[in-house]
Chains A and B, each alone.
Chain A
Amino acid sequence: MANLTLVQAINLALIQEMERDDRVMIMGEDVGLNGGVFRVTEGLHKRFGEKRVVDTPLAESGIIGTSVGLAMAGLRPIAEIQFEGFLGPAYDQICTHAARMRTRTRGALTVPLVIRVPVGGGIHAPELHSDSPEAIYTHNPGLKVVMPSSPRDAKGLLISAIRDPDPVIFFEPKRIYRAFREEVPEDEYTVPIGKARVVREGSELTMVSWGASVIQCMNAIETSGRDIELIDLRTISPFDMETVSESVRRTGRAIVVHEAPLSCGLGSEIASRIMEECFLQLEAPVQRVTGFDTIMPYYKLELEYLPDAERIGQAIDEIVAY
């Protein structure tokens, strides 16, 4: 075991997968000499050389398009996009090519590509550097979308993503890149894509979240002193409805928490699915605690925007009293 931050856990996963498989290589802006904007690829350029850890121009469409070509030809590229807002220029390549190649070629050509993207707010960055666009990508069949909330899950999920035969967008919550450490196995291991983690068992209500918001949920649950079950989805496409359903049928109450704006966020989908699958067991309407339907604000107002323990706590009180 090693006591690692999220950044260190991801770095370790990259090293182990690159040592294991020559086809794994990394491309992105400043990923080489500088070790990436958040230093996630620190040391890899020196260790694996410039042919496998490739500094690219500032050209997201080119980076992702080239990575799709590399993957179609049988390699296992990992592309880093510096911030989630920079996915915009690459959207065409992600959604018209990476997501659809398997279907379009009926499996003759596939895209085993990982796109690593720092995501979310909480680091005093401006909009386009603090957004949560995960729902946009979950709306594209053919992509898998993952967002870990802990170093241990991050390492295992990234290894799964690299070995996955399909394109995976691997969102890394910036806010918890270095916020805490956790014991992480030093040997390689996988955490399955598509399986949620029950962070904490409980009987009074079910809370569903992912990414950095999971930490806010924990804080709120501890403050409330109630017996609350917390589910970290870990994979948001395809998400593990079975675990959510099973829990809500037992507790009869559900709160979904995410940083992204409310309308058409993933919370809407989860609430619908709970309504469809657990209608007769529900004791109260499903609540959503989310960002607002506005552009992510600049840092002075950032904490007003992001769901925190206080807002989550209010939702707990309301749903229990309903």
Chain B
Amino acid sequence: MSTTKTKILKAHEVPVPDVDVLKGWLLDMLRIREFEVRSMQAYQNKLAGGFLHVYNGQEAVAVGCIGAMRHTDPVITAYRDHGHALARGLEPKIGFAELFGRIDGCAKGKGGSMHFFDRDNHMFGGHGIVGAQCPLGTGLAFATKYNDEVINGGTSDSVTACFLGDGALNQGSVHEAMNLAAIFDLPIIFCVENNRYAMGTSIDRCTASGDQITNRAVAFDMEARTIRGMDVIEVYREMKEIVEWVRSESKPFFLDIDTYRFKGHSMSDPRKYRTHEEEAEFEANDPIDKLSRYLISEKLMKEDEIKAMSKEIRTEIREAVDWAKKSPLPDVSELHHDVYADVWGPFTGTSLPRYMQERSAEEAGDGS
């Protein structure tokens, strides 16, 4: 099979997408923001349980990066995962149902906030242990390469985006994953969402050479770059170049994306580790405002159109919450479903809850 390699455009040569795409990104970022606002409310009202880590401020990262990929390219991330799932096309109502522990959730109400999965949209979670998703991402990239080369006899043609936070950089499994990706020439981008804080500890207090984290890639002889993450168009253009390079070379890439988490690590974070002045400074650099201003200044959208769009999103999200509230709770029998596939009949393991024993006795027609 002969393939002619197309020229890979440098980030500054990548054209700004047309207005429909830009409008779509604005819609996506507004949807993520509103989803998080309503998630926080639901959490405070005890409508949602588990824990909650919101994405406010980082929207341009998920939307810009995922916008530069093919829909079939795998995406995986850690626990601050709502933005990536929504950017990949997860319906907000399904996300809320998951937060509320309802049967219609993307993990049928068994996963919660940290475990947003969407197989149809090639979104592989949503994982709760810091950094532990990186070996999985390496495996996903290995699988696309294996499928392309060994099973289909062609050349590697997919790119996996494995998102992680700057706090994950100090986890051993991340280093193992990066080394594996490097020696196996896997088509994966380690997208570090560098929001400057590992939970409540700033990067300069917990990460050696934290002012230049691309140093980590040097050890693995991996290409690396630092980009700004608050402008979705800029994120997209940089990511586009990198995605196409990774696709064509089948090699890993380390991408350091400078961003900021507007809210705390989780809902119980008192944020004693940073000042209100610092927060205000970054909030003035809101990625949604930035794209809105661009669209207005380029005369691609009018201010009232954007207002109408925000209103439309608020309605969509409110309806999604209402829908999710009405979704049924999982039946108690769900406890024992999806633990194993049922190929040898029901699990004969060491424990069954009482209600299931009663049920099997009834099914067996045993009245005693």
Q: A70-B139, A105-B117, A141-B339 are in contact. Are A193 and B144 (CB under 8 A)?
A: no
In the complex, chain B residues whose CB is within 8 Å of the CB of A273? 350
Chain B residues with CB under 8 A of A314: none
Q: Say yes or no: A73 contacts B139, CB within 8 Å.
A: yes
User: CB distance A238 to B138 under 8 Å?
Assistant: no
Distance in angstroms between the alpha carbons of A273 and B350 in the assembled complex = 8
Measured CB to CB, the closest approach of chain B to A304, in angstroms, equals: 31
5 nearest A-B pairs in the assembled complex, by CB-CB distance: A69-B139, A65-B135, A62-B176, A73-B143, A238-B349
Interface flag for B132 (CB, 8 Å)? yes
List 15 interface pairs A-B (beta carbons < 8 Å), by A numbering: A51-B146, A61-B135, A65-B139, A68-B139, A69-B124, A70-B139, A72-B140, A96-B128, A105-B119, A105-B125, A106-B108, A164-B341, A165-B341, A166-B340, A194-B344
Q: B110 and A106: CB pair below 8 A?
A: yes
Q: What size tier do the contact residues of chain B reach?
A: 35 or more
Q: Is the CB of A104 within 8 A of B339?
A: no
Q: Are B349 and A62 in touch, CB under 8 angstroms? A: no
Does A22 interact with chain B (Cβ within 8 Å)? yes
Question: In the assembly, what is the distance between CA of A72 and CA of B126, in Å?
Answer: 14
**Of residues 235 to 275 in A, which have CB atoms within 8 Å of B's CB atoms?**
237-242, 269, 273
Q: Which residues in A have their C-beta under 8 angstroms from that of B107?
A: 104-106, 108
| Chain B residues close to A by CB (< 8 Å) | 74, 76, 107-108, 110-111, 115, 117, 119, 124-125, 127-129, 132, 134-144, 146-147, 149-151, 172-173, 176-177, 179-180, 183-184, 337-341, 343-344, 347-350
| A-side contacts of B115, CB under 8 Å | 104-105
A-B contact count (CB 8 A): 162
Does the CB pair B140–A73 fall under 8 Å? yes
Does any Cβ of B come within 8 Å of A227's Cβ? no
- Cβ of A102 within 8 Å of any chain B Cβ, yes or no, is yes
**Which residue among B136, B179, B183 has the maximum number of chain A CB atoms within 10 Å of its CB?**
B136
Within 8 Å CB of A193, what residues of B?
344
B184 close to A54 (CB less than 8 A): yes
Q: Are B132 and A72 in contact (CB-based, < 8 A)?
A: no
Residue of B nearest to A239 (CB): B350
A-chain residues with CB within 8 Å of residue B108 when the two chains form the complex: 106
Nearest CB in chain B: distance from A162 CB, A: 13
A61→B173 contact, CB < 8 A: yes
A88 within 8 A of B: no
Whether a CB of chain B sits under 8 angstroms from the CB of A57 is yes
Check A73–B110 contact: CB distance below 8 A. Answer: no
B183 surroundings in chain A (CB, below 8 A):
57
Asked if A72 and B349 make an inter-chain contact with CB atoms under 8 angstroms apart, the answer reads no
User: Taking CB as reference atom, which chain A residue is nearest B141?
Assistant: A69
Contact residues, A1-46 vs B (CB, 8 A): 22-23, 25
Contact A241 B348 (CB under 8 A): yes
* A129 interface hit (Cβ, 8 Å): no
Residues of A within 8 A of B173 (CB): 61-62, 65, 92-93
